Amino acid sequence: MSEVTRFAPSPTGLLHVGGVRTALFAWLVAKQTDGKFILRLEDTDQAREVSGADQHIMDSLQWLGLQWDEGPFRQSDRLAIYKEWADKLIEAGRAYTDPYTQSELDELREKAKVEKKPFLFRNHRPENPPKWDGKQPLRFLSDPKVYKWDDAVMGKMSSGPEAIDDFILIKSDGYPTYNFAHIVDDYLMGVTYVIRSQEFVSSIPRFLDLYEALKITRPILATLPVVLGPDGKKKLSKRDGAKDILDYAKDGYLPDAMFNFLVTLGWNDGTTQEIYTRDEILKKFDMARVQRSGAKFDEQRLTWMNGHYIRNLSIEKLFKLSKDYWPSEASKFDDDYKKAVLSLVQERLKFLAEIPELTKLFFTDLPVDKSLIKTNKKLADIEQATLSGLLKSSRGALSDSDFSVEDLSNRLNQLLTDTYQSPAILFSLIRIATTWAPASPGLAESLHVLGKETTLRRLDRSIEQF
Ligand code: GLU
């Protein structure tokens, strides 16, 4: 059966990892069943709205490739519809005007607290509520009883009458509450499969009550467990260093890697496989295999996965993606040179924002940093004069190389024999002297890309320093 799913964020902030995972699962269910994925912006809480959040949400979804088939709908455009449905409930005797002022309500709440009883609005239903004029809140006349339902992830669920109360349908500002509006919208938009995060699970009995009052067949309900912080205890928060999704995009995480990471955040196919193509995911994803307990957000795993995706890119593709990440010094160099540099660092590159740090040495002579010798265990105790002598021999051996990788490798190996040194000493020294970095890609490959002129110039400069 084709399922209609939706992502229904409130534009009250930036889209974070947990939110976008909900969208991804909803998108997957729709695509897997040849159904529809709807985007609905639930902008009924005017006070909490953050300007620009709606655009941020849409940009995030599009970056990840989660294109919606319908929408974006905005609840603020649909106030007349909620009013119409509120009238239906009034007519059916299932909604009434809340006559209380804020201070009267506070008093009732306070009294319940003193009596150590839970406050339930339905215990204070007014006897003759005034006709609803839109200035006071409109409340649902609930039916407190046992509710049972099947959750596509959580399994069999039930709740008792204590979970039910007369909640607000329409606020005094004329906007509907989430509890009311989403039910009406899901119905009118033909949503068959509702996927949302765990924070709503305690409200589901109220939704079931409302479905019954409106005589609406309830959709399939699926509750996703929360995304936990790296300690696996608390819900993931900004403090755990979790960035919003477009920050990862800016840092040069690839949408395919993020897609793969998010889908395996709380789901697996029963094997230990971690890397899946989008097609594989579309074939294998199954809501019934989403784990019921919280899924731990592990940024290192995301970064590892991203490195995997980067290593599998062709150089042409990687070069295209790297456009905005080059250090300023690179502007003087041509595309072929940059591609050669990229193929050297591709193996180690985990996200594109690392490009400047990893490639700078190929574009500019960095200041000579002698501390790299001091901190290298093998080199630290060798006399400066010896080091300088080794560099001179190296310069001599390299000065008539054609600088092909093969010739460089041969000469470097010959140098080991001639100087009676180990690679750990000689190659580290040459590496430091030519790249001023403690580590770099293969030495012959690096020197090949740097070219003869730069290599010899850097060697000369280093020899001078010792
Ligand atoms: N507007 C709700 C939120 O952003 C949506 C919950 C739902 O998907 O029904 O949390």
pLDDT digits (tens, 9 = 90+) for 433-451: 998 876 778 899 999 999 9
- 314 within domain boundaries: no
Nearest CA, atom 4, ligand 1:
9
Beta bridge partner(s), residue 156 = 150
Residues 39 and 56 in one domain: yes
Q: Given this model, what pLDDT does residue 368 score?
A: 78
Q: Given this model, what pLDDT does residue 232 score?
A: 86
Percent of all residues in the chain with a pLDDT value above 90, rounded to a whole number: 90
Nearest CA, atom 2, ligand 1:
9
Does the CB atom of residue 307 touch ligand 1 within 6 A?
no
**254 vs 33: CA distance, rounded Å:** 26
Out of 224, 242, 262, a domain closes at 224
Residues 128 and 64 in one domain: no
Q: Given this model, what pLDDT does residue 370 score?
A: 82
- 366 within domain boundaries: no
| Token pair in block for residue 83 | 């009013």
- 311 within domain boundaries: no
**235 vs 231: CA distance, rounded Å:** 9
Does the CB atom of residue 206 touch ligand 1 within 6 A?
no
Residues 56 and 94 in one domain: no
> Can you give the CATH number for the domain in which 402 is found?
1.10.10.350
**Each residue of 41-73: pLDDT tens digit?**
999 998 999 999 999 999 999 999 999 999 999
Residues 96 and 203 in one domain: yes
Helix extents (H) in 243-350: 245-250, 255-263, 278-284, 299-311, 315-321, 335-345
Q: Given this model, what pLDDT does residue 367 score?
A: 81
Does the CB atom of residue 42 touch ligand 1 within 6 A?
yes
Q: Given this model, what pLDDT does residue 294 score?
A: 92
> Can you give the CATH number for the domain in which 246 is found?
3.40.50.620
Q: Given this model, what pLDDT does residue 177 score?
A: 97
- 342 within domain boundaries: yes
Residues 96 and 156 in one domain: yes
**Each residue of 155-166: pLDDT tens digit?**
999 999 999 999
| Total residues belonging to the chain | 466
Name the DSSP letter for residue 373.
Answer: H
Residues 29 and 147 in one domain: no
Residues 284 and 378 in one domain: no
Q: Given this model, what pLDDT does residue 436 score?
A: 81
Active site residues: 238
Residues 95 and 178 in one domain: yes
- The atom of ligand 1 lying closest to the CA of 9 is 4
The chain-wide mean pLDDT, for the chain, equals 95
Out of 253, 270, 299, a domain closes at 299
Q: Given this model, what pLDDT does residue 235 score?
A: 87
| Token pair in block for residue 310 | 């980067």
Residue 312 pLDDT > 90, yes or no?
A: yes
Nearest CA, atom 3, ligand 1:
9
Residue 322 pLDDT > 90, yes or no?
A: yes
Does the CB atom of residue 182 touch ligand 1 within 6 A?
yes
Does the CB atom of residue 75 touch ligand 1 within 6 A?
no
Containing structural domain, residue 166: 78-224
Whole-number Å distance, alpha carbon 25 to ligand 1 midpoint, is 14
Residues 60 and 97 in one domain: no
Tally of domains within the chain: 4
Residues 36 and 172 in one domain: no
Helix extents (H) in 360-438: 371-374, 377-380, 384-399, 405-419, 423-435
Q: Given this model, what pLDDT does residue 404 score?
A: 98
How does strand 36-41 pair with strand 70-74? parallel
- CA–CA distances in Å: residue 334 to residues 34, 162, 252, 330, 338: 46, 71, 22, 8, 6
Q: Given this model, what pLDDT does residue 121 score?
A: 96
Residue 275 pLDDT > 90, yes or no?
A: yes
Does the CB atom of residue 203 touch ligand 1 within 6 A?
no
Does the CB atom of residue 219 touch ligand 1 within 6 A?
no
Out of 161, 190, 224, a domain closes at 224
- 310 within domain boundaries: no
Does the CB atom of residue 196 touch ligand 1 within 6 A?
yes
Residues 135 and 214 in one domain: yes
Q: Given this model, what pLDDT does residue 114 score?
A: 95
**Pocket perturbation via mutation, ligand 1, pick of 42, 74, 194 by most ligand atoms within 8 A of CB:** 42
Whole-number Å distance, alpha carbon 77 to ligand 1 midpoint, is 17
Residue keyed to tokens 């000493």: 425
**198 vs 204: CA distance, rounded Å:** 10
- 304 within domain boundaries: no
**Each residue of 190-244: pLDDT tens digit?**
999 999 999 999 999 999 999 999 999 999 999 999 999 888 888 888 777 778 9
- CA–CA distances in Å: residue 156 to residues 145, 149, 153: 17, 6, 9
Whole-number Å distance, alpha carbon 66 to ligand 1 midpoint, is 17
**Each residue of 398-435: pLDDT tens digit?**
999 999 999 999 999 999 999 999 999 999 999 999 98
**Pocket perturbation via mutation, ligand 1, pick of 6, 10, 45, 207 by most ligand atoms within 8 A of CB:** 10
**Each residue of 131-179: pLDDT tens digit?**
999 999 999 999 999 999 999 999 999 999 999 999 999 999 999 999 9
Average pLDDT of the residues in 271-292? 96
**312 vs 4: CA distance, rounded Å:** 34
- 33 within domain boundaries: yes
The least confident of 119-123, 289-293, 374-378, 456-460 is: 374-378
- The atom of ligand 1 lying closest to the CA of 22 is 8
**Each residue of 325-362: pLDDT tens digit?**
999 999 999 999 999 999 999 999 999 999 999 999 99
Q: Given this model, what pLDDT does residue 92 score?
A: 97
- 312 within domain boundaries: no
**172 vs 192: CA distance, rounded Å:** 31
Residues 94 and 157 in one domain: yes
Supply the Cα-derived Rg of the chain in whole angstroms.
32
